[in-house]
Amino acid sequence: MTELSILLTGAQHEISAGDYVATVTELGANLRLLRHRDVPLITEYDADQLPPAAAGELLAPWPNRIDGGRYVFGGEAYQLDLSEPALGNAIHGLTRWASWRLIAISEDSAELGLRLLGRTGYPFALELRAQYRLSPASGLEVTVTAHNAGVRPAPYGTGSHPYLHAGNGMADAWTLELPATRWLPADDRGIPSGQPQDVTGTDFDFRGGRRIGTTSLDHALTGLSRDSGGRAWARLSGNGTAVALWAGPGYAWLQAFTGDTLGPDARRRAVAIEPMTCPPNAFVTGTDLLTIAPGTGVRHQWGLQAVPAGNGAV
């Protein structure tokens, strides 16, 4: 690279605390790297590489998909660009390819911001912030805030897209625990095709923790059980290591994805556990969709930590 070259993911913001290290990128405020004792907890990628299959991306002002990119809000009809053209959907929001400015950085924390101005299909103005903070005891905490800086109410949802690792090998041999009581049927375009269903007796019941085996996951799950602090915990373990993801209040959904549609180098090599405030197509259905009034905002938190295999949070 020449002296004037710019990495595809822009500036790299490195933080550390205890045995944890992480890197957050200017592009999309993405989580590019997270390690504990030099063991990767998520799918990593090079600084001069675009995030593969949305790895580590922050999703706003909606997670997942909008059918045909069309929705009605406040009595007005809108058409978004189809960012998933092969399936005819608008996917994963409007901020993942934006350049986020650095607001503050310290040894263990980095905060980035983005002014999301109006555009065709989303004529609303949001001030967004994403803070990544590491703790020696509890790992990574991510805080995502959105403030409506415009003059009209704005529809909003957010999510994040980490692919979790539990050692080497395939996901088939790993044990997954998900605290969800209902799963959402979807068609072959990823659009919900019915109401949430009870997981009891289905391949989507991971409440007690079980081996993934041949189960193929690309589904949104809800009805989350939470601890006394309001956190819903998912855990992935294998090969003597484990990683836990927690989703704080407001994250009502977890999307689980075993990567069966990815290329041979990535297929079933990690499991995406995506905290989401709303399910796919929420801009159309209104399910758990947030409306942010002018001058007000919302705040959501989630996190990741290394845990002993087979055990809960430390």
Q: Cα 142 to chain center, whole Å?
A: 11
The reported pLDDT for the residue numbered 311 is: 47
Q: Is residue 310's pLDDT more than 60?
A: no
* Cis amide leading into 51 (omega within 30): no
Report all structural domains of the chain as residue ranges with CATH numbers, in order of start. 12-308 (2.70.98.10)
Q: Is residue 313's pLDDT more than 50?
A: no
- End-to-end CA distance of the chain: give it in Å, rounded: 42
Q: Cα 126 to chain center, whole Å?
A: 19
Asked if 148 and 115 count as a contact pair (C-beta separation under 8 A), the reply is no
Q: Among candidates 116, 68, 60, 71, which has minimal Cα distance to 90?
A: 68
Q: What is the average pLDDT score of the chain?
A: 95
Could you give the percent of the chain with pLDDT greater than 90? 93
The reported pLDDT for the residue numbered 3 is: 61
> pTM of this prediction?
0.95
Q: What is the mean pLDDT of residues 165-190?
A: 95
Q: Is residue 240's pLDDT more than 80?
A: no
Residues 181-222: pLDDT tens digits?
A: 999 999 999 999 999 999 999 999 999 999 999 999 999 999
In single-letter form, the type of residue at position 74 comes to G
Confidence band, pLDDT 50/70/90 cuts, at residue 1: low
Confidence band, pLDDT 50/70/90 cuts, at residue 294: very high
The reported pLDDT for the residue numbered 216 is: 95
How far, in Å, are 199, 250, 258 from residue 44 at the CA level?
31, 27, 16
Residues 77-98: pLDDT tens digits?
A: 999 999 999 999 999 999 999 9
Residues 58-72: pLDDT tens digits?
A: 999 999 999 999 999
Q: What is the mean pLDDT of residues 223-234?
A: 98
Q: Among candidates 239, 244, 265, which has minimal Cα distance to 49?
A: 265
> Can you say whether the dihedral through the CA atoms of 192, 195, 200, 202 is positive or negative?
negative
**Torsion of Cα atoms, 251 then 223 then 239 then 257, to 10°:** -70
Q: Is residue 124's pLDDT more than 70?
A: yes
The helix/strand/coil state of 113 is strand
The helix/strand/coil state of 173 is helix
